[in-house]
Structure 1
Amino acid sequence: MTHRVFRALALHGLRTPYKAALRSNARRINYGSLANFLAQSANILAGSPRVVGITTSDPLEAALADLALTFHGHVAVHVPPFFSTVQRAHIFEAAGIETFIGECDAAAVTEGLPRPEECPPLDGPLSLPVIGARRIIFTSGSSGTPKGVLIGEKQMAAAIAGLDKAILPNSEDTHLSLLPMAQLLEQVAGLYLPLLAGAEVCFCPEALHALFGGPMAPVMAAMSEARPTTTVLVPALLSRMVSELKSTERIAPESLRLVAVGGAMTSPALLTSAKSQGLPVCEGYGLSECCSVVALNMPERARPGTVGKVLDGVQVRIDDGEIVVSGPTVMEGYVGQSPVTGEWRTGDLGRIEDGHLIVEGRKDWLIVTPQGRNINPEWVEACLCADPCIPAAGLHLAQDGQLEIIAVVTGPVDPARIERLLAGLPHYARPVRVRFVPASHEGLLKPGGGIDRSQLPQLSAMLPYHSLSHDQKECVA
């Protein structure tokens, strides 16, 4: 399918050479220049396949590197700029990276790609891409130790085909890319899918900072200027976007037809608030191990409380409450481990109702209280994350057997505010105390949404707490 994308890109370069393909602030790369760039990059990337790390923090440069490496049949490894030094070093070793494109904090060989704007024009059509390109996506999961998900041509082909049928991108689309290019979701839905359709991709370099609590003004300015038709968000970024629109008494651009949100559970209150501000939000569900997207709602047929219908070509069944995925999107395997054959047990709990998938949370995150209550922490956490000052939260059972929640904050938050956010929960699910941690805490926030749960016990031991006024204890007959 990336072959199909490159064939389409070659046609766009011939038929609409001056149409914008990629844009970032004042920089604009048209389809003709992009085709010239892919041909010219052969001077550097020709030869046998090798594993190449992409370490640039500039999303446009990361996209160019991804396209070039894929076109020339190499293994692309995005090194997330938000990973810690230890995590990055682990990626270098685990993936067996041979050379790098971009900045590198290790003594290694780096390669420089030509600037598309300076590449000479092609004498004829763009050649066919080299077969066999792959990518390794490192995800921290719940342990904090990055795991390398190996994605090949088959997985990319199926994911792009499924999204193409669901979203129906066209050449008039403008995709606003706000998630890091290191995330597989943005590579598939925010780069390859728009280019397949001949659409334009607009990058906002400042979005990475906003994702971790930085100012939203550049993101809102980019949205206003680009007037996008599609974008992909995580709940924390959606919450902050809604807050910005409300505080400035504005609504989202009327050009938007789809705002896909995923990566973590999104509260119904946030979804309702987003729609009132003109954001056509639709929940989706996926994981890197299944090439990112498994199911997606669409505005014209969205079912509240679900993540939509399973993508065409993907199969899902429920086994003892667990979501099990099969089909061509299932990864080749984890780097350094045995290949995956057949279906993939996601570890997520869920059910299917009237053809729509409902995700209930992670199986191994389920909390069983001393009173025998089963509580999915994401349900409780989503209530806090509807607040734009709380990009993430982590509920856990403390050593004294009581529920407590750790709120990741971008500014001062009063405990009474926490109580109000949790007021709609049943009595047994409400934590008895809250601890606050700044969003700047290294490695705590996940760009795909959520919190690194491996840090919760340590944070609980070191942070002061604030008691919440409701009494969480209950009698059991």
Structure 2
Amino acid sequence: MSLYSPVVDAAARTPDALAVRDLVSGLSYGELDARADTFLAALRGRGVRPGDRVLVWTDKTAESVAVAQAVLRCGAIHVPVPRGNPVRRVARIAADARPALVVTDHGERVPGAVCVPCADLFREAAHGPDTVPHPVRSADPAYILYTSGSTGQPKGVCVSHGSALSFVDWACGELRLTAADRLANHASFGFDLSVFDLYGAFRAGASVHLVGETLARAAEPLVDFVWESGITVWYSVPSALVLMAEYGGLLERGPGALRACVFAGERFPLKPLKDLRRGWPDVRLLNWYGPTETNVCTSYEVTAADLARTTDIPIGSAAGGDTVSLEDGEIVVDGPTVMLGYWGGRPRTGPYRTGDLGRYDADGRLEFRGRIDDMAKVRGHRVEPAEVSGVLMAHEAVRDAVVFVVGAGLDARLHAVVVPEPGCAPGFAQLRQHCSDFLPPYMTIDALHTVSGFPRTANGKVDRAALGDLVASGAAV
């Protein structure tokens, strides 16, 4: 079974059923299948072969979903990059992935890469005959998701067809998805949450409704979208739900057609979670956990019993056929949903060590206790502060920089501590704009602290603990 098979199968069963809808138009399963075949012929005409990477740098549209399907049918590897990423970061991703082709739906181009607009690609093979999908094996790579890297460079998490489908099949069963469901896709295509939205819908023959990048941050219109689209299954980071509740009247308006609400990616603050549980007594609420490298590996369902809680909810029990254990307090995952490895690196062997700390509660369910290193979730996305520091140090007025995450959950913010070049005084607005030229919006700094030098440990390294204490106390100004 391949990751493109669900659309092929659904098109054969129910060709007229809605498959995907963006904010402008939609495609039935028959139309999506035919459009994917057209793009498949065009990709082959462009010389894309099995194992090649195709970087898709587009807005969230039904057309880009068809392109992704074509890439998979070609036996190539889909590399989704959200439109909001600046060209310089996309160029760094392209330098690592070495794509045979970059597909866009806008005017920007990636230096040194072969770029083609979706519209041109479609016209190139309007009558292309070569539309037989390439047979793939379960272990063949399907897509690469680029996350923030500890070396200061984005790193690509490579996932196989079988791994993705192991998660999707489990999720479809857990939520009892049917062809009548209408799933929202709030996450970007470059974020692992979107794997369920898209492929869960396709596996069930349901429809997926895409939330554009602008709408995804607009509370009241987002609540309107849930109601007007008749969404039955929602999946997002908790901060999106908190935003919708605080500023969009989510609880006052009621759940509409919603029957299941799933959240992942960061802790859900207890008070708004309880409000949601009270306000939606008939809607299933599920907390899913797992880094990009494992997709979802544990699950916990929030029930009325959790209204008596005074601490965070657990991340739950193993999911997706995985085995989840603790080794010296670290959460370790093995099983079918775990990645192949990082693109360009050695294939993964053995269990994946998440770098997350956990413990068991009295009922044997896992609780999340934080990170072993300083990686954190900011605005629902995984951020390596070293990548942000590297960008800041590229500015001509900055001699050195360290970035900290201050706060947790919805209050997590990126604080930059910089040592200026002699005679320079870089301002917050200036460095924030510099970050936006190289990084996606969620990795742009929220505060700036200027110091004459960093405290050091005995071996000459920056004393991050001491510097972090200065930032938290406000002493670093």
Normalised by the size of structure 1, how large is the TM-score? 0.72
2:366 is aligned with 1:357: yes
2:29 is aligned with 1:2: no
- For the Cα contact (< 8 Å) 2:330–2:353, is it kept in 1? yes
- For the Cα contact (< 8 Å) 1:82–1:443, is it kept in 2? no
Q: Which amino acid in structure 2 is aligned with residue 105 of structure 1? A: R
**Aligned runs of 1:262-281 on 2, under 5 Å?**
262-278=264-280, 280-281=284-285
User: Paired residue for 1:393, among 400, 403, 413?
Assistant: 413
Runs of 4+ deviating beyond 4 Å: 113-116, 126-129, 141-144, 299-304, 377-380, 394-399, 437-441, 443-447
- 2:230 alignment partner in structure 1: 227
- 2:244 alignment partner in structure 1: 241
2:331 is aligned with 1:311: no
- For the Cα contact (< 8 Å) 1:282–1:302, is it kept in 2? no
Q: Which amino acid in structure 1 is aligned with residue 53 of structure 2? A: V
2:432, 2:74 → 1: CA distance? 43
Distance 1:249 1:77, change over 3 A: closer
Shift of 1:141: 4.6
Identical aligned residues as a percent: 25
2:343 is aligned with 1:335: yes
- For the Cα contact (< 8 Å) 1:258–1:299, is it kept in 2? no
- 2:449 alignment partner in structure 1: 460
1:84, 1:41 → 2: CA distance? 26
Q: Which amino acid in structure 1 is aligned with residue 67 of structure 2? A: A
Q: Which amino acid in structure 2 is aligned with residue 163 of structure 1? A: A
- 2:18 alignment partner in structure 1: 20
Shift of 1:169: 1.3
Shift of 1:128: 5.3
Shift of 1:284: 1.4
3-state DSSP of counterpart to 1:459: strand
2:49 is aligned with 1:48: yes
2:90, 2:267 → 1: CA distance? 27
Paired residue total: 395
- For the Cα contact (< 8 Å) 2:323–2:333, is it kept in 1? yes
**Aligned runs of 1:438-477 on 2, under 5 Å?**
442=436, 459-461=448-450
Q: Which amino acid in structure 1 is aligned with residue 276 of structure 2? A: A
3-state DSSP of counterpart to 1:227: coil
- 1:93 alignment partner in structure 2: 95
2:91, 2:358 → 1: CA distance? 36
- 1:200 alignment partner in structure 2: 207
- 1:346 alignment partner in structure 2: 354
C-alpha deviations, 1:348-384, integer Å up to 9, x for none?
00123434221111111399xxxxxxxxx999523xx
Question: Which structure 2 segments of 5+ residues have no match?
Answer: 307-311, 377-403, 420-430, 452-471
Q: Which amino acid in structure 2 is aligned with residue 11 of structure 1? A: D
- 1:215 alignment partner in structure 2: 218
Shift of 1:209: 2.7
Distance 1:32 1:398, change over 3 A: closer
Distance 1:169 1:364, change over 3 A: same
- 1:370 alignment partner in structure 2: none
Question: Which structure 1 segments of 5+ residues have no match?
Answer: 368-376, 400-436, 463-470, 473-477
2:256, 2:17 → 1: CA distance? 22
Shift of 1:320: 0.8
Distance 1:148 1:164, change over 3 A: same
2:275, 2:437 → 1: CA distance? 29
Structure 1 vs Structure 2 CA RMSD: 3.8
- 1:251 alignment partner in structure 2: 253
3-state DSSP of counterpart to 1:196: helix
